[in-house]
């Protein structure tokens, strides 16, 4: 077996961890400046180089710039947001409502990442016992894109408070294609020092030592 073995220098390693630890979910910080096409292409290429089960590469990317379309998506967010608020107890409901949980109209573009579960047809290596692995692969593509965006000093916000069927209807996503993520992407005025929900006291970051097990749970 032969292959290349590119060495990662200490400076490159430090840069990677800096990106990793300073990645944030961006919401209210977006600026209207357009994202350069070459930069957007780099982000999509980074996503396309994510690992995928059976090398099936199940993802597609929908770039959403049209403001009228994004307004329709924002309307669905508002409906889903109202539904979600009622799921929290009274003590947390108003705090939840006060959070800014999307930047659909503030960001210059939306980016939808989908999963084509039948892309390669037939049995897929690595998905025979765990059929959901193609969905997980697509999430890896999202993470690649998010980290690449942070390395480009761009903000990304994942809007998960949406109805998937409505998103498919608005964007004309074919039957059988699963929308995985609606991402707001753009230049930002700054990044939070800590994740916003941690900073607001919604939940703390769990100590890593409490989450590590050896040999058995």
For the domain that residue 35 is a member of, what is the CATH number?
A: 3.40.109.10
User: In 3D, which of 132, 118, 114, 109 has the Cα closest to residue 187?
Assistant: 109
pLDDT in tens, 100-130: 999 999 999 999 999 999 999 999 999 999 9
Let me know: does 38 contact 139? Beta carbons within 8 Å. Answer: no
Is 73 a domain residue? Answer: yes
Is 13 a domain residue? Answer: no
pLDDT in tens, 17-56: 999 999 999 999 999 999 999 999 999 999 999 999 999 9
Is 5 a domain residue? Answer: no
Is 216 a domain residue? Answer: no
pLDDT in tens, 151-191: 999 999 999 999 999 999 999 999 999 999 999 999 999 99
Is 154 a domain residue? Answer: yes
User: In 3D, which of 66, 57, 40, 27 has the Cα closest to residue 137?
Assistant: 57
Let me know: does 101 contact 174? Beta carbons within 8 Å. Answer: no
Number of domains, the chain:
1
- Spatial distance between the Cα atoms of 83 and 86, rounded to a whole number of angstroms: 6
Is 215 a domain residue? Answer: no
pLDDT in tens, 66-96: 999 999 999 999 999 999 999 999 989 999 9
User: In 3D, which of 203, 204, 206 has the Cα closest to residue 95?
Assistant: 203
Is 4 a domain residue? Answer: no
Is 19 a domain residue? Answer: no
Three-class SS of residue 215?
Answer: coil
Tell me the residue range of the domain where 99 lies.
25-203
């Amino acid at each position: 077996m032969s292959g290349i073995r590119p060495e990662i220098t200490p400076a490159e390693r430090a840069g990677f961890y800096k990106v990793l630890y300073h990645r944030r979910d961006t919401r209210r910080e977006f600026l209207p400046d357009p994202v350069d096409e070459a930069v957007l292409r780099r982000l999509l290429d980074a996503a396309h180089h994510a690992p995928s089960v059976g090398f099936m590469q199940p993802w597609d990317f929908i770039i959403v710039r049209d403001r009228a379309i994004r307004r329709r998506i924002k309307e669905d967010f508002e409906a889903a947001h109202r539904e979600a608020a009622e799921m929290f107890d009274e003590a947390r409901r108003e705090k939840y409502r006060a959070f800014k949980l999307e930047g659909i109209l503030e960001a210059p573009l939306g980016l939808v990442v989908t999963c084509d579960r039948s892309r390669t047809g037939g049995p897929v290596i690595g998905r025979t016992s765990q059929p959901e692995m193609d969905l997980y692969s697509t999430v890896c593509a999202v993470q690649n894109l998010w980290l690449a965006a942070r390395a480009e000093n761009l903000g990304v916000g994942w809007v998960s408070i949406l109805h998937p069927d409505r998103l498919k209807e608005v964007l004309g996503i074919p039957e059988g294609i699963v929308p995985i993520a609606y991402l707001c992407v753009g230049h930002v005025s700054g990044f939070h020092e800590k994740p916003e929900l941690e900073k607001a006291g919604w939940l703390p970051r769990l100590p890593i030592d409490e989450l590590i097990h050896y040999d058995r749970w």
